[in-house]
Every structure is written in structure tokens, then in C-alpha cells.
Chains A and B, each alone.
Chain A
């Protein structure tokens, strides 16, 4: 089974600054997807960004970008120009064709944004 590890239980960033959240994963597969989800206090799971393993180019969505290092099995999330609304739990997730393309989540990183 694949494991996803988020080694930072909590992170803090000042408004307008940049923060990087770490994620590593363990797999023997070559074809898979990686995701970052945001969970605000409302509990809703919101997709932030995704990366296909076969793509070498790192995914970018506005202020959010990833650093995907396939050989190192690392998938970090960079948030630029942090905003108060970015405060939330962030989950890294792995998905393969196993288990009907179900997601395998890390334990999450709580991001605090200070004014």
C-alpha cells in the first residue's frame, strides 16, 4: 500500500509571504496522480492542485505551485503571496488505479496565516 507523509503538523506564514508545505510518498508504481487539498474550518474538501506523475513540468494554479521530484518521491506545495483565506488544513494525497482510483491521504498540515 502507498503511504503519504506530511512531516509538518503546523506551519505559520505572514500575509503576503511565501510558504512551502512538504509531502513525501512511497510507491512502486510508475503511473499515478498527486494532489493537494485544502480543508478550511467549514470542513469542505477543496482541490488546490494536481500533478500527473508522467509529466515532468510542475503544476501551477495561480498562487499555488508544486515542486514534484519523482525520483525522490517528494511533492511540496508552495503558496505565494499568502492571504488570510489560505489558512486551513492542507492534505497531500496520492491516487493510483488501485482501489478504484481512491485517494490515499497524508495526515495534514495546519497552516496559520498571520496579518
Chain B
């Protein structure tokens, strides 16, 4: 039982490049979330999903897209990376209103 996993753990991009972060959970959770954490800040919600095939915007969605084609996976895409997207990205999942389980995070640097 791996819980919540994130791929990759680290990545360096150049401005304008694109990439996809993968989040996978094996707990059959309906709800999945993407957050970003910047220095001196708590985590902020980018996008979330309440079930397979559904996505919704969070607090800071600009510059990101998401997809939830399979229940266990939640993908976060950056179409044209900008230095302002340098951050640590966390994925989380939960069963309805219960405890959220977090992945280990992905450190992304955009040069």
C-alpha cells in the first residue's frame, strides 16, 4: 500500500517549457488535490477533483491545467512554465470529508 505517490520528485525547467506532474493514490479515494507551497507560505490550492472525470479550480489555478481520467491518478500540467511557478507541489487525496493524505512533494525550479 504505497499511499500517495508523486512523480517526479525534482525537476528543473527552462522558461516556456512544459511538463506534467503525476499523482497516484491506491486508497480508492474520490477526492484529489494539487497544492503549491512557496517560502514563508502555507500550502495553496491549485486545482481539485471530486471524482473521476471532474476537476475544478482552486485559489491559484492560473498557468496550470489538470486531468482526472482515472480515479487513481491526478495530473497537473504546466503548458508554458514561468519562474513564478518555481515551488514545491503537493498532491493529496481523501475519502470525502475525511483526513487528507499527502504525497512527498515535487520540487520544481523554473529558470
Contact = CB atoms under 8 A, between A and B. Distances in A.
Contacts of B99: 47, 50
Contacts of A75: none
- Chain B interface category by residue count: 20 to 34
Contacts, number: 58
Contacts of B56: 99-100
A19 interface: no
B45 A102 contact: yes
Contacts of B58: 99, 102
Contacts of A107: 40-42
Nearest to B40: A107
B10 to A, nearest CB: 11
**Consensus secondary structure, chain A interface:** mixed
Nearest to B51: A100
Given A45-B90, A47-B99, A99-B56, A105 B42 contact: yes
Interface of A: 1, 4, 33, 42-45, 47, 50, 91, 93, 95, 97, 99-108
6 contacts: A42-B104, A45-B102, A103-B35, A103-B100, A108-B40, A108-B42
Interface of B: 31, 33, 35, 40-45, 48-50, 56, 58-59, 88, 90, 92, 94, 96-97, 99-100, 102, 104-105
